[in-house]
Structures are given as structure tokens and as C-alpha cells.
Chain A
């Protein structure tokens, strides 16, 4: 039983490490780069998976290419660019900031801004309304005028 548990645990661990372990790297830094890149590239075939955990043939081709380019010493940007030029912007899990995606990136800010404006307007209104809500009736106002001025106006 204990051996079985150990085996199961071992298999799980092996599986998790499989993607980057099947590739050879010259340094830990390269391995880390590979891990980052493959988790940020989206598989075009099975669209809700990164190429790091997809079993699609195209994902394994892409991993192979990423590995090759990492070992060749190409920069992360260059590798991303190589993939995007073939498979389109779609493969970026993190879209680039460009005119086309401004709305996408700015929507959270816009939403927070609109929320703040609404809250601000409501606050200003309610603070203005409180003195107004105790406003005197027409009759009271005349009485107040009379009291303040001593006598009804005659000028």
C-alpha cells in the first residue's frame, strides 16, 4: 500500500516536471525562460491551453521551436515575435499594448473612473440636498422675512 502511494506520488510529480524535463538546457535560467514562454504561448488548436500543457501535435512542435530558440540564445521578445508572425496575435496570452488593444487594457480603468464619477456625483448631490430638504414652506418664509426685516417691505 505504501509503495503504491509512493508510486502514485512519483507519477504525479514526474508528470508535472515532464514538459521542461524532456528538454536539455545549458542553464537553469534558460529552463526558466522556456517555462515562462511556454506558459505564455497559447495553443492555436486547443485554444484554452498554453502550449506548456497541451498534448496537441502543434503544441509540441511549438515547444520544440521555443526550446531551439532559447538554446540559440534568442531573446524572449524575439521568440514571441517568431510565434506571432506565424500563428497570429492569438497565441499571446498577454496581448500587446497597441492602438487596437487600448480599449481592452483601459476598460478596467474606465470602469473604475466611471464608478468614481457616479459616487462623486451622488455624494455632492446628497450633501446639497440635506439643507434643501429642511427648506421652509412659503408661509414660513414670509414669516421669517417679516421677523428679520421688522416689517413687510414697503420700498
Chain B
């Protein structure tokens, strides 16, 4: 019985090892949005194609949608673009674009050259709405439900695998609820 006490340090070391090992390889660079479960912050923004048309969070009402934050200055957005085209064209996923800290002409040219996967693209040259949304690096992709509540955020490139394994299950869940 006494001798069993000798194993306590070993057990503690193993427990510590397990805790630390579980952290290895975990991606700490992408953070959960602080807005999960909260409504999209208030905004009034022009769209890329229409400098005079003011849009409000009402664009997120009615159906579950993706909100994709992008800019022509962002190399990963280039990588991501074909997947967004596929989602919009083949899967019919509604995507709202947020053109973040960008130049209108460059952004329009980008969409003309590569195709436009967005139902509407909000134009946020100063990044004011992006800031309220907690955007800290493009590309970011949010799932926003039919009530305009933020449900999920993915930081980084959306590719086929990310869509299939991460975004699609959440998206379908809220689409069915909505």
C-alpha cells in the first residue's frame, strides 16, 4: 500500500503530459468570433457596384448566408476565390461580400476578371464595419442565420475541405432551422 504512494509523482507527470500533448498541433491562430450568438453590428454601407445605395444589416435577414471578407490586396483571397465561385454556382450558397479596406476600381476589376460569387458586395474602404465585426485579417468567412445572428466564423482560406468538414455542417444546421 505504502509503495503505491511512490507512483503519485508518476501519475501526475503522465496527467501533465496528456494535458500538454493535447495542445500540440492545435491551431491557435484562428480565434472564435466574439460575436457568436450576437446580431451583426449596425452598419450603413454602400455596395461595390452602387456608390449611392446604402445597405443595413437587413441584407442578412430572410435566409442563412455566408459573409465573406475580402480585398484585392489579400493574396489568400485570390486562392480562395475559385471555391467561392464553386459554392455560389454549383451549390447555390448565398454569399454576401464585404470588400474590406480596398479600392473600388480594383475590386470591381477583380470581380470582372474572376467572376462574382456575391449576391451583394458591401464596400468598407475604411474598415469601420470590419472593425465592429472583429475582423483581424482577410479572408474571413462568417455564417449568419436568417435572423441576422452571427453563428460561426472561419479565419483563413475556405477550400473544398474546409467547406465540407467545417462550414457546411453549421450552415446546413442553421439553414434547416431558419
Contacts and interface: CB of A to CB of B under 8 A. Distances in A.
B38 to A, nearest CB: 9
A90 interface: yes
Interface residues of B, number: 16
Nearest to A84: B34
Contacts of B131: 61, 65, 86
A85 B137 contact: no
B34 A88 contact: yes
B176 interface: no
Interface residues of A, number: 15
Contacts of B101: 57
B33 A88 contact: yes
Interface string A112-153: 000000000000000000000000000000000000000000
Interface in B28-77: 28-29, 31-35
4 smallest A-B Cβ distances: which pairs? A88-B34, A44-B136, A86-B134, A58-B136
Interface of B: 28-29, 31-35, 101, 127, 131-137
10 contacts: A47-B29, A56-B137, A58-B137, A84-B34, A86-B34, A86-B133, A86-B134, A87-B31, A88-B32, A89-B34
